[in-house]
A and B are shown apart, each in its own frame.
Chain A
Amino acid sequence: MAKRRADTRNGVGDRALHHELLRTMLLQRRFEERCAEAYAVGKIGGFCHLYIGQEATGTGAISVLRDDDYVIGTYRDHAQAIARGIAPRAIMAELFGRIDGCSGGKGGSMHLFSREHNFLGGHGIVGGNIPLATGVAFAIKYRGGDQVCLCFFGEAAVNIGSFHESLNMAGLWKLPVIYVIENNRYGMGTALERASAINDIAERARAYDMPRSVVDGQDVLAVRQAVGEAVQRARTECVPTLIEARTYRFMGHSMSDAAAGTYRSKAELDEQLKRDPIALLRSRMQDKGEITDAEVTALDAEVRAQCEDAWQFADQSPEPPLEALYEDVLVDTTSDPELAPVAAGVPPTVAPIAAA
């Protein structure tokens, strides 16, 4: 699994970095292939949305963060959780609905959380996580910190009110948040062109006085560079950014639908498969002599073994006890308000909320 780093180098030519990015994306791919298998045999239930094909976007973006930054995602969240360093065991156990899952078996595929990793969840309502990310960034500014919040959502979310409300506040108040649109071109089965009055959706940032960029979401290094610049801007200048990463999902919207045939053609899918983000990075590394075929094979074997280990761990992890049903509905520490916690002693900044 990827080690989380604090470096913000562009990374071009950095052999170790490329190995790490390749390893993370391959782990995401093999992990989700096992998810599909587990779903087919009934070990994973409910909705299960795979990120296969989009790995470069989440991996590149998260790779530029520090450990104390924050990540918040959508219901398509397995790969971001892996990129953030959450153990595949804990993720698979969550998908299996087991006690050792990263959300204790109560969240499932759409609600992966890890406080240890500042991973603020997968969220199941389209657009619902965008105001949350904005609030996290508000809290960072309130405390005078230099962290950032990275927020992922699909291109269909740019049409919902919470997107516009959030970007307006982030632009107005200058909050350290990076909004990453994972533009995989389809909101379930509705093409972007059939849902949005404009097709260059990054342009929406103009309405909110916000820097914007469009990046090839299949190129992990390009994503890294674009998000790296945005993170730097957020960290040092408290300026938000909207990034549109143009990517493609190789599977259906969820495990319930076919990859092609209704809203998109097999021919289109086949064309997109030629730009597999993992193959793109691997070829680049091979061309530069950064990795041998034998190393690729060994790396693949290693991550497959890790996924098998995650499966076995999840399968052996117990179901949550029935008492867990009623736990975590409310925090019960403050039934006596006298005992409630007092100030943490972190004074808020006196900085004005809006940039002069």
Chain B
Amino acid sequence: MSALASKLHPRPLESWRSASSKTREQWLLAAVLVAPALIMMGIFVFYPATQTIGLSFYKWDGISPDMGDFVGFKTFTRATDNYPFSQAIKNSLLWGVVGLFVPTIIGLVAAALVEDTNLRPKPLFRFAFFVPYFFSMAVAAALFTRVYDPSYGMINQVIHALGFTDVKPQWLGDGRIAIYAAMGVFVWHETAFCYIVFTAAIQQIDRSLYDAAKVDGASEVQVFRYITIPSVRDVATFVMTIMLIVGLTPFAVVFPLTTPGLGGPYYSTEILPTLIFKKARMGYNASEAAALGVILLLLVIGIVSVFLWLRERTAPKD
């Protein structure tokens, strides 16, 4: 019946007059349903997003009433030709790779270990792996300023209790390890998300597949490799895409961990969002903030597209 209906009302743009009453009614309803959302997104997303591109080609401080002079790509050169920027790019790329693989793999392995074995009691273990997600990312990062504290912090206290009384890493104060400490918070928090999504996906796998594999004498590792992994492939793509996007913009980790001295010590935890935040809100450098915004946008879209393209290309054909 719907096939017939679509034949009777072909999709191309008919003029209002020749449109059937159903089509006309649908246009009207669409206008009513779309307008409020479109107006809101227009004001707070699309308008500023297009502004950012224009702004990045001008020299403007963000305060003066007029936009200043058109300077072409000079703003980009000024915004990128410095140490903080190269640090931010390096950290962002590394963080993207970590986000793509670390929380996802730990989450998948943990979910399989709990769901595909006779581990008991399952609810307790599920709770254990999900616990970090009770805190928001920002709150988790704020808490880790205490967990990482060199003297009373949990980690160094544990190290001390284990007998290593001389080892007292300055987790957040040492520029060589601060970025890894920050990524540690990210992994700690996001693994819980990956875990819970993979748990839901594994629970939906047809149990008879496992029984058949067992009859055939497959080992646990083979079951994981040939049943679990292929079955959660689509969910994995979804989770990895989210982790990639979050991993490229982990502001909620770096902001609580490193203020005062956002992005410090000495730019070692700098990421593009912290640079943009500083220039947009503290530094009154609107044009450079906009130029960095354009770069971040291209970076995120580029990397996510490449990732999704690779996933598409390596998809099993069935």
Partners in one complex: no
